[in-house]
């Protein structure tokens, strides 16, 4: 089968153009960035013009991809919600400093439920609204899916329902929401008035209608065929066409068919040559301003009659006409990328010298010890070859039919011939350079001795750096001693590796404002589940040898709580350093003591900055009070099952941290008993923070 991403047509249950009954819907989700993660809230609104009694309605939260939800709030008796009004359910108590609406330059909503500890979603959790009978009626996020890196992630951000949406839905549709970029609230914890207005929501529904008149269903089409889509529209200005992608359970816009003038009534579209073959495909048209106005086709058939060809964006590795290619050609493996999933046919890959056209090696594509098919879509052919001669020009030829597509009647790839399609010249050495050798330098500038070099290295993935839900880079390490960390940037690479993977990376070394960066072009996974190197304990001032490494400083205090751009200064023994909010924002106070601060060491404009990634990286426990509350704390039972009890009554926050270092649940202002049914079995670290600022860490086991 060929790919279906943004190309065309997949199975979905048909329904006609319908306006569902108006009523109670979720209209806003917020993950605040104040100390302790305040404010977090879920806003429920009445889109109708009548008064609803929401007595017995409830909200469930599904944490970290869990398919089983926990009821975190039930509306009390005689809870009336007039038409057009909203109610806010929030974790802040509006009594304690740091939990006041005024602390965020916001007005208290007219209708609000305060101090609801279960409203603790960390940007990757799902919220579901249920009616009095326990029947789900509306949802934010996809149940059973961890929201990290999903289109609906709202970490340190917020999402608001579009004004045109007036109907609840039990199937999440991102088109109904304005989902702001991840981290947009970072550094804005003291003034959120430019972002959110809790307790208010405007409804502006559309009265339009759409009817897709062609295709209607039952047709037979071929890849590459041009169709004339037709429709009728009333009170609709702009439309788009979408395809349902069954592999990701989501409707997606069809490339080139968005922002269309609805009055046109017809538009030509050519079925891509890499569209999936099959017999049960549907499309739909949607009003862009009001996505609940839509019309869907019946099923029709697509037959594959074309080989889609090479992926023009990156057809070969090494690239055509590239020079200085290591003699091992990156693990002795050539790579050809296609537009669609492929399979092996019959024929050979020939490696030839440019100088005399002699054949250096012949690789039979049916030899599975040398040839494999893989890649994220099964669209890449890999060829293992012998080590090549240094400083020599080569070109590759692939015989016709050696590669085929996966159509019912497979189509042959036409092949590659001559020296003008895929050639490269080797350098003098092989490609591998260790992280240590890349980073170690005695140059006062700190620049790598391999700056501008094209090479291969490897290391364990420590932390992945996202901006607006898009992977932009990651840190790797080979050890926790000096010169063993490296930051790698990515641009269009598949995000198919995770923290703990050992990866082999090919790319060029560049210097960016003092930071040594590997601009990754190819990333291969060597092994999984590796133990991460522990943070290196270092002292101030920061030094070049620990650039891009996970480090920890201990027994420091805040000497300047704000030096601009979310940065603050720490000091110890007359030495100073800078902490930056790029990955995690914290608002210290002057002279605040820290038992430790952990993060990655950045070099920005030749200034070293420590980058914490999460709340647990900042331990603000003063040495003088570290054990006061710990001595009074009792945890039972341990091991625990569906709940765990903490004896102390002055607990401000409890974080459940798994063995991978991930915070999987957090509870604020607990009354002593914490429901834990949603947690998976295993060992956890409890980080318990008390109201006086002290904290303790305890190990517990869920069975």
Per-residue model confidence (pLDDT) at position 206: 76
Per-residue model confidence (pLDDT) at position 605: 82
Other C-beta atoms lying within 10 Å of the C-beta of residue 119: 25
Per-residue model confidence (pLDDT) at position 364: 97
Per-residue model confidence (pLDDT) at position 693: 66
Cα torsion through 689, 692, 693, 697, rounded to 10:
-30
Superfamily per CATH, domain 627-702 = Macroglobulin (MG2) domain (2.60.40.1930)
Q: Is the pLDDT of residue 373 over 50?
A: yes
Q: What is the mean pLDDT of the chain?
A: 88
* Dist. CA 20–CA 441, nearest whole Å: 66
- Could you say which of 3.40.50.970, 3.30.450.20, 2.60.40.1220, 3.40.640.10 is the CATH number of the domain covering 316-426? 2.60.40.1220
Which carries the bigger pLDDT value, residue 91 or residue 694? 91
Range in 141-145, 454-458, 532-536 with the lowest mean pLDDT: 454-458
What confidence category does residue 5 fall into, taking pLDDT thresholds of 50, 70 and 90? very low
Listed in sequence order, the residues at least 6 apart from 453 whose beta carbon sits closer than 8 Å to its beta carbon are 433, 508, 509
Listed in sequence order, the residues at least 6 apart from 245 whose beta carbon sits closer than 8 Å to its beta carbon are 4, 5, 10, 251, 252
User: How far from the centroid of its chain's Cα atoms is residue 566's Cα?
Assistant: 23
Q: How does 159-173 read in b/e, with b if 16+ C-beta sit within 10 Å?
A: bbbbbbbbbbbeebe
User: How far from the centroid of its chain's Cα atoms is residue 265's Cα?
Assistant: 38
* Dist. CA 343–CA 599, nearest whole Å: 45
Residue ranges of E strands in 101-208: 112-113, 126-130, 136-140, 158-161, 177-179
* Dist. CA 418–CA 395, nearest whole Å: 8
CATH number of 536-620: 2.40.50.200
Surface-to-core class of residue 230, CB atoms within 10 Å of its CB (0-12 exposed, 13-18 middle, 19+ buried): middle
Per-residue model confidence (pLDDT) at position 629: 55
The answer to whether the CB of 416 falls within 8 A of the CB of 404 is: no
Please spell the DSSP secondary structure of 54-84, one letter per residue.
-TT-EEEEE-TT-SS-EEEEEPPTT-EE-TT
Q: Is the pLDDT of residue 666 over 90?
A: no
Per-residue model confidence (pLDDT) at position 667: 86
Listed in sequence order, the residues at least 6 apart from 135 whose beta carbon sits closer than 8 Å to its beta carbon are none
* Dist. CA 150–CA 374, nearest whole Å: 24
Per-residue model confidence (pLDDT) at position 631: 58
Phi, psi of 237 (to 5 degrees): -100, -45
pTM passes above 0.75: no
Q: Is the pLDDT of residue 331 over 90?
A: no
Per-residue model confidence (pLDDT) at position 618: 93
Per-residue model confidence (pLDDT) at position 3: 34
**50-92 pLDDT per residue, tens:** 888 899 999 999 998 999 999 999 999 878 899 899 999 999 9
Per-residue model confidence (pLDDT) at position 131: 92
Within 13 Å and on the Cβ side, how many CA atoms surround 337?
14
**385-400 pLDDT per residue, tens:** 998 999 999 999 999 9
Q: Is the pLDDT of residue 552 over 90?
A: yes
Q: Is the pLDDT of residue 15 over 50?
A: no
Same CATH fold, 627-702 and 24-179? yes
Phi, psi of 555 (to 5 degrees): 55, 60
* CA dist 415 → 361, 412, 572 (Å): 17, 8, 66
* Dist. CA 234–CA 230, nearest whole Å: 14
What confidence category does residue 355 fall into, taking pLDDT thresholds of 50, 70 and 90? very high
Q: Is the pLDDT of residue 520 over 60?
A: yes
Surface-to-core class of residue 41, CB atoms within 10 Å of its CB (0-12 exposed, 13-18 middle, 19+ buried): buried
Per-residue model confidence (pLDDT) at position 632: 64
* Dist. CA 179–CA 156, nearest whole Å: 12
Q: Does CATH number 2.40.50.140 belong to domain 209-302?
A: no
* Dist. CA 432–CA 452, nearest whole Å: 15
The answer to whether the CB of 685 falls within 8 A of the CB of 638 is: no
Which carries the bigger pLDDT value, residue 478 or residue 333? 478
**603-635 pLDDT per residue, tens:** 988 899 999 999 889 998 764 444 445 556 788
- Residue spans of the domains in the chain: they are 24-179, 209-302, 316-426, 435-527, 536-620, 627-702
Closest CA to 231 of 164, 282, 165, 294: 294
Percentage above 90 pLDDT, the chain: 63
* Dist. CA 680–CA 700, nearest whole Å: 13
* Dist. CA 334–CA 329, nearest whole Å: 7
Surface-to-core class of residue 146, CB atoms within 10 Å of its CB (0-12 exposed, 13-18 middle, 19+ buried): middle
**262-281 pLDDT per residue, tens:** 999 999 999 999 888 888 88
- Could you say which of 2.40.50.140, 3.30.420.40, 2.40.40.20, 2.60.200.20 is the CATH number of the domain covering 435-527? 2.40.50.140
**222-252 pLDDT per residue, tens:** 999 999 999 999 999 999 999 887 666 678 8
**175-185 pLDDT per residue, tens:** 899 999 999 99
Phi, psi of 538 (to 5 degrees): -125, 170
Per-residue model confidence (pLDDT) at position 549: 97
- Could you say which of 2.60.40.1260, 3.30.300.30, 3.30.750.200, 1.10.760.10 is the CATH number of the domain covering 24-179? 2.60.40.1260
Q: Is the pLDDT of residue 16 over 60?
A: no
Per-residue model confidence (pLDDT) at position 264: 96
Listed in sequence order, the residues at least 6 apart from 631 whose beta carbon sits closer than 8 Å to its beta carbon are none
**94-118 pLDDT per residue, tens:** 999 999 999 999 999 999 999 999 9
* Dist. CA 621–CA 256, nearest whole Å: 55
Per-residue model confidence (pLDDT) at position 630: 56
Per-residue model confidence (pLDDT) at position 332: 65
Listed in sequence order, the residues at least 6 apart from 195 whose beta carbon sits closer than 8 Å to its beta carbon are 158, 180, 184, 185, 188
* Dist. CA 468–CA 563, nearest whole Å: 25
């Amino acid at each position: 089968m060929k790919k279906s991403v943004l190309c065309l047509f997949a199975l979905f249950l048909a329904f006609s153009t319908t306006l569902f009954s108006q009523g109670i819907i979720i209209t806003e989700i917020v993950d605040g960035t104040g100390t302790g993660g305040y404010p977090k809230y879920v806003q429920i609104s009445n889109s109708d013009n009548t008064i609803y009694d929401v007595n017995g309605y409830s909200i469930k939260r599904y944490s970290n991809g869990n398919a089983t939800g926990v009821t975190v709030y039930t509306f009390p008796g005689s809870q009336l919600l007039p038409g057009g009004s909203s109610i806010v359910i929030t974790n802040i108590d509006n009594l304690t400093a740091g939990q006041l609406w005024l602390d965020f330059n916001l007005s208290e909503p007219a209708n609000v439920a305060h101090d609801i500890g279960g409203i603790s979603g960390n940007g990757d959790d799902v919220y579901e609204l249920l009616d009095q009978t326990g029947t789900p009626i509306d949802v934010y996020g996809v149940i059973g899916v961890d929201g990290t890196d999903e289109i609906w992630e709202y970490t340190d951000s917020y999402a608001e329902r579009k004004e045109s949406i007036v109907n609840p839905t039990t199937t999440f549709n991102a088109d109904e929401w304005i989902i702001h970029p991840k981290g947009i609230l970072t550094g804005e914890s003291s003034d959120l008035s430019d972002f959110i207005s809790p307790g208010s929501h405007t409804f502006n529904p559309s009265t339009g209608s759409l009817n897709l008149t062609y295709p209607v269903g039952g047709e037979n089409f071929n890849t590459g065929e041009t169709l004339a889509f037709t429709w009728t529209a009333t009170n609709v200005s702009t439309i788009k066409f979408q395809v349902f992608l069954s592999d990701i359970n989501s409707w997606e816009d069809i490339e080139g068919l968005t922002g269309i003038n609805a009055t046109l009534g017809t538009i030509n579209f050519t079925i891509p040559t890499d569209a999936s073959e099959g017999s049960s495909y549907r499309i739909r048209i949607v009003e862009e301003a009001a996505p609940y106005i839509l019309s869907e086709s019946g099923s029709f058939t697509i037959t594959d009659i074309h080989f889609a060809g090479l992926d023009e964006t990156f057809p070969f590795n090494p690239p055509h006409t590239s020079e200085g290619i290591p003699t091992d050609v990156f693990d002795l493996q050539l790579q050809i990328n296609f537009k669609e999933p492929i399979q092996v046919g019959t024929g050979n890959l020939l490696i030839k010298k440019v100088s005399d056209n002699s054949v250096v090696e012949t690789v039979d594509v049916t030899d599975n010890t040398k040839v494999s098919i893989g890649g994220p879509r099964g669209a890449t052919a890999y060829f293992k070859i012998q080590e090549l001669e240094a400083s020599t020009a080569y070109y590759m030829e692939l015989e016709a039919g050696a590669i085929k597509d996966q159509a019912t009647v497979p189509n042959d790839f036409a092949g590659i011939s001559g020296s003008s399609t895929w050639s490269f010249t080797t350098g003098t050495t092989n490609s591998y350079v260790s992280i240590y050798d890349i980073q170690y330098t005695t140059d006062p500038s700190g620049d790598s001795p391999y700056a501008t070099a094209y090479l291969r290295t490897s290391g364990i993935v420590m932390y992945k750096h996202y901006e607006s839900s898009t992977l932009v880079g990651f840190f790797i390490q080979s050890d926790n001693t000096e010169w063993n960390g490296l930051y790698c940037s990515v641009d269009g690479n598949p995000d198919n590796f995770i923290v703990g993977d050992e990866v082999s990376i090919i790319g060029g070394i560049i210097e960016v404002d003092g930071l040594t960066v590997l601009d990754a072009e190819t990333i291969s996974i060597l092994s999984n589940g590796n133990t991460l190197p522990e943070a290196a304990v270092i002292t101030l001032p920061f030094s070049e040898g620990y650039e891009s490494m996970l480090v920890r400083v201990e027994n420091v205090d805040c000497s300047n709580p704000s030096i601009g751009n979310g940065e603050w200064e720490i000091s110890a023994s007359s030495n100073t350093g800078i902490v930056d909010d790029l990955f995690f924002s914290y608002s210290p106070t002057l002279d605040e003591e820290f038992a430790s601060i952990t993060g990655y060491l950045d070099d920005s404009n030749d200034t070293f900055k420590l980058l914490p990634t999460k709340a647990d990286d900042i331990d603000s426990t003063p040495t003088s009070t570290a054990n006061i509350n710990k001595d009074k704390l009792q945890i039972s039972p341990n091991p625990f099952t569906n709940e765990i009890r903490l004896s102390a009554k002055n607990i401000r926050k409890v974080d459940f941290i798994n063995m991978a270092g991930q915070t999987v649940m957090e509870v604020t202002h607990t009354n002593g008993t914490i429901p834990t049914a949603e947690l998976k079995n295993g060992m956890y670290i409890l980080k318990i923070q008390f109201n006086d600022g002290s904290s303790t860490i305890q190990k517990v086991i869920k069975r």
